[in-house]
Structure 1
Amino acid sequence: MSDMKTEASVPSARESGGKRDSSSGNGQGTTHIADGVVAKIAGMAAREIGGVHAMGGGAARMVGAVRDAVSGGGGSGSVAQGVSVEVGERQTAVDIDLVVEYGAAIQDLAAAVRRNVTTAVERMTGLEVTEINIKVDDIHLPEDDNADDGDSEPRVR
């Protein structure tokens, strides 16, 4: 997340003494929310949007597929794959890598992902989402599904 411009608005874990908490202010204690929790919420919310085929760039998807094959994960991939977050005490910033379906209007899809992720993260964590950076890594083409089928007719005889 080298190109993020949120250092001042989203203190990192180091800047906040390793604490990512929300205090109730009434002496009942604190709640710590791990980066991975926010990443999973953002990943699930992004996947809910029609036109999102997969999360993560080519290398991340390949590593995830290998990890699933080794661990017997069934190909589901990590919920947080393709998502990185920076969580401060009261705010968070999110980076999302997407593979979109061919034909999807990318700007509209990105806006819908931002809305859904913001709503989910803010509702579930109480953290303010300061920015969501979306990187479209690939387009999923319809013929990509057919390339893996062993039932298809060979093109050359």
Structure 2
Amino acid sequence: MEKLINDFSFGLFFWQILLFVGLVLLLRKFAWKPILDAVNSREEGIKNALESAEEARKEMQNLQSDNERILNEARAQRDGMLKEAKELKENIIAEAKAEAQAEADKVVAQAQATIASEKKAAIAEVKTQVAGLSIEIAEKIVRKELSDNGKQLELVESMLGEVTLN
């Protein structure tokens, strides 16, 4: 250090200070100002990006709440449509059952009417056959009974005895 003090020169010191001040001024004008401007613009860009991100986050929250609301409305609408469809289905089924019951009652009534008319026709036919058979049997019996004259007279007298005059 002693050597530095012995070799010290004011002229050299002056020129070094002058160059240093000139260098600082040049750096300030051409380097520091663009560097500081770049740093400031970068800071502004980051600040703008953070503000944009915050706005995007708020907008995303709004969109999510809108989506939730729309989803709830869609669910309510779907539930309403399902309820209407269920009621419509139940009404259609009830109407179909009523129509089927009415048709079944009509078919049963027709079948009963057909059965009754066929029963009457069968009874009439049986009566006709029974009457025909009865007449044939009576005819055969009468022929057999009336083949003899004594029996004929006896039959006429018994019938006359049964008949009373009024």
TM-score with structure 2 setting the length: 0.18
Q: Which has the larger radius of gyration?
A: 2
| Bigger relative contact order (CA 8 A; separation at least 6) | 1
More helix by share: 2
TM-score with structure 1 setting the length: 0.19
